Amino acid sequence: MVVWPGAAHPDPMLFTKAFTSQALAAKLESLVDLSTEERSSLGALPIRQVDVPAGELICRAGDQLSSCFIVLEGFVSLSKETAAGTRQITAFALPGDMPDLLGLHLKVANHDLAAITPCRLASVEHSDLRSLCRTFPAIAEALWTSTLVAGSVFEEWVVNVGSRKATSRLAHLFCEMMTRLEALGLARNDVCDLPLTQVHLAEATGLSRIHVNRSLQELRKQELITYTNGRLTIHDRTGLAQMGQFDPDYLHVPRPGWRT
């Protein structure tokens, strides 16, 4: 895990490029093997650093896009909003993710992107990314694979919202987030920072805030989790996975400790 040196670093932009290369390489190498030359090419990508305060929109559905964002720090939500103003979170993006990669070919944002926490992003122009993919087919394959994995996760979210009971939905979401954060080295010993409010949890699971509150109480009562001040502790991984009908295969990441 890299700690940002901020203004104290002699060349903050150089540091940002190195951090971007590291984050993106880690993401892509979890999907395909990259050569030394391919990894080096990621470090040569021209980028623009973007810092976004918590709660701010990064882009809105329908926006014309000419660049892709790479999440370097923080939590980002992907969501859609109805005409009545109801919001449905469809995914959470974590460090290394490119939550608007579809825009590389579709050119238009398909969803709202918002910073849940203060976020640091790297912006890469579509033209530079397309040039990189033409030069290095393995990188193009990795980006395509990451899109397929995102589709796999989206399918599981549809099942979660459409077919599981309230407490199971929340249990499944907690299992997923712990698994993803563990793969990034951001969770340890069944504990992780998960800075989601009950509003975020409701919008991600299609529940009311009342049902989220009741479901949290039920998970605590069964001694499966503790969730306080944005910190999640899982006390019984097997029990929580069974409650959420969670099988991590759809995430296509290592799955330490999960048994269903």
Residue with tokens 């892709």: 68
Which residues, other chains included, contact 144 with Cβ-Cβ below 8 Å and sequence gap of 6+? none
* pLDDT above 60 for 1: no
222 pLDDT band (50/70/90 cuts)?
A: very high
DSSP-assigned states of every residue in 135-167 = H-HHHHHHHHHHHHHHHHHHHHHHHHHHHS-HH
Q: What is the mean pLDDT of the chain?
A: 91
Tell me the CA end-to-end span of the chain in Å, nearest whole number.
Answer: 30
Q: Which two tokens stand for residue 124?
A: 């890469």
Written as six digits, the tokens of 134 are: 């033409």
Q: Which residue has the higher pLDDT, 235 or 6?
A: 235
Q: Which residue has the tokens 């398909």?
A: 110
Please state which CATH number belongs to domain 164-251: 1.10.10.10
Q: 99: which 2 tokens? A: 């939550």
CB atoms within 10 A of CB 240: 23
Q: Is the pLDDT of residue 259 over 70?
A: no
Domain with CATH 2.60.120.10 in the chain: 6-156
Q: Looking only at Cα atoms, what is the longest distance across the chain?
A: 55
The amino acid at residue 74 is G
pLDDT of residue 14: 52
DSSP annotation of 251? G
Is a pLDDT exceeding 80 seen at residue 16?
no
CA dist 142 and 228 (Å) reads 36
Q: What is the pLDDT of residue 27?
A: 87
- The rounded distance, in Å, linking the Cα atoms of 217 and 225 is 10
Instruction: Please say if the pLDDT value at position 257 is more than 70.
Output: no
Edge to edge, the sheet with strand 191-193 lists 187-188, 191-193, 231-234, 225-228
Cβ-proximal residues to 8 (8 Å cutoff; 6+ apart), any chain: none
d(CA 136, CA 134): 6
Q: What pLDDT, on the 0 to 100 scale, is given for residue 5?
A: 37
| pLDDT tens-digit readout, 155-206 | 999 999 999 999 999 999 999 999 999 999 999 999 999 999 999 999 999 9
pTM for the whole thing? 0.90
CATH code 1.10.10.10 region(s) in the chain: 164-251
**pLDDT-based confidence at residue 120 (cuts at 50, 70, 90):** very high
**Token pair in block for residue 246:** 């969670």
**Collapsed DSSP state (helix, strand, coil) of residue 106:** helix
CATH superfamily of 6-156: Jelly Rolls (2.60.120.10)
> Where are the strands (E) in the chain, listed by range?
48-52, 57-59, 67-73, 76-81, 87-93, 112-115, 119-125, 187-188, 191-193, 225-228, 231-234
